[in-house]
Structure 1
């Protein structure tokens, strides 16, 4: 810290956190593309912010800039131009983080953040939920926001072992090659997943929790055209007549629950064009107890 004189620090009078703003350009970058982060720190307090450092970061890796002393009412702006990783995918977080001394023996900080979502290179790359636990360690997963889970042993009893090749409704799927307690499905919130090839059907294997999973998605073709589609996937609870596979029991926070649960195949009839990507149905904003969510474990073009 600096040895310079400080105005007396009276937190009850002097200090409401000064704002820092952050902008990112372009607002919809692509993997490998350069982005410019611009942050402005405004000292709205009654004291000087001493030895101020402003950090600009992309996914936690960034660049510090020393701002020195920022007098009351002053502001400072810094920009940083950097390239996203060539293999970047999914959500990319941008952060502006300012650290400063507020009195001789203490410091404080403020932060602003933003994010963009790049296309995922595969469905597995989009996995963001741990839905499968083991019968021995049944609390390592949470498929519904209330600590319930699919059982790895129950899934294996119906042919769904990690990495298993299975066929339902005339379509072949690869079950996630994931150990219990690791990410094995994506909660469908409008993520974009890259695709290639062509076919007559885009089929999904999944299920819904807390009610029917309903939402709108899009197929994106290489020629720039789009095809909207909608889904309505039943809740997992019980043995449904329309299920692709019925799993004999599930796991609760208290252990095994001998109520069967169902997984379903749902699909989109494709146009005769080369594929580029799929925008998964926007069913929810994430996983919340009591809110319908659609879980996708596998996807294939047939």
Structure 2
């Protein structure tokens, strides 16, 4: 029988992971399927396979797995009713390779569920006070918006402001506190909506150039409406800006060049109930030198009222 030789390179056997349905929903079931194939020349003993959704899962003892053999296991679980955002699915196999040693192999994939609100999707801290610059990184190079500069134009936590006849609620976050994300970097996240309206408007800005991308509105009847955005860079006092701030932070301190925030959006089909909006796909995150679109607030305008989200 072949035995493990510590002087040889040991390539962990592969484990694959799939799931159904392809677009899981909160409160509904998802099934994980994992296949472990022993591509080594030794018997994998005491093999255990773990399947998990985030931090919740189950384990299955597989015993010994001979060279060339594969084994498949499935696990069905129900997602929480309030599940949102990134959900990590994992298949993790642990096995003994000899009497005194073990090894493991793992496969993961990420599912992006709809967020229940825009603020639930916040993934970036972009605002810092003048005496605590290091708590925020708006553009990947440690620049940020100033709490004090924002307050000078009425943008205080939770404040309602009106630009282009559209009211927005500024994020009600406390800069510098743990977990104080205050904007979402737009990369195709889905945010749930309800009601109907004439226009969906956003308040935001771009870093490292113009933020261009395509999004879509999804109506309750399943139809979709695509839209595109092209949001200017934040640096400078733009003539098309909704509001201009007198200065910003950079890594070395205060930069007295102004920066701009903008409104943008999409006109909606009259009278149709909404289900969600897929934010424009501009980037996968922030990176110095690469354009990214930041969204702070959105508002659904109707003929008689407005619904704001932060």
* TM-score, with structure 1 as normaliser: 0.94
Question: Deviation per CA, 1:131-160, whole angstroms, max 9, x where unpaired?
Answer: 112222211111111221111122112111
1:31 aligns with 2:45: no
- Alignment match of 2:128 (pick from 124, 133, 138): 133
Unaligned runs of 5+ in 2: 302-310
Give the total of aligned pairs.
297
Preserved CA contact (<8 Å) 1:6 1:104 = no
1:262 aligns with 2:273: no
Secondary structure at 1:86 match in 2: coil
Preserved CA contact (<8 Å) 1:29 1:118 = yes
Q: Aligned-pair RMSD on alpha carbons?
A: 1.6
- Alignment match of 1:169 (pick from 140, 155, 164): 164
The runs of at least 4 aligned residues of structure 1 exceeding 4 Å deviation read: none
**1:201 matched to which residue of 2?**
199
**2:308 matched to which residue of 1?**
none
Question: Deviation per CA, 1:112-139, whole angstroms, max 9, x where unpaired?
Answer: 0112222111111111111112222211
Preserved CA contact (<8 Å) 2:2 2:41 = no
Q: Pairwise mapping of residues 1-302 of structure 1 onto structure 2 (< 5 A)?
A: 7-13=3-9, 15-181=10-176, 182-272=180-270, 273-302=272-301
**In the aligned structure 2, how far is the partner of 1:280 from the partner of 1:8?**
51
Secondary structure at 2:87 match in 1: strand
* TM-score, with structure 2 as normaliser: 0.91
Question: Deviation per CA, 1:238-289, whole angstroms, max 9, x where unpaired?
Answer: 1111111111111122222222111001121222122221111111122222
Preserved CA contact (<8 Å) 1:6 1:103 = no
Residue 8 of structure 1: CA displacement?
4.0
**In the aligned structure 1, how far is the partner of 2:209 from the partner of 2:80?**
38
Preserved CA contact (<8 Å) 1:148 1:253 = yes
The worse-fitting range, judged by mean Cα deviation, of 100-109 and 17-26 is 100-109
Secondary structure at 1:197 match in 2: coil
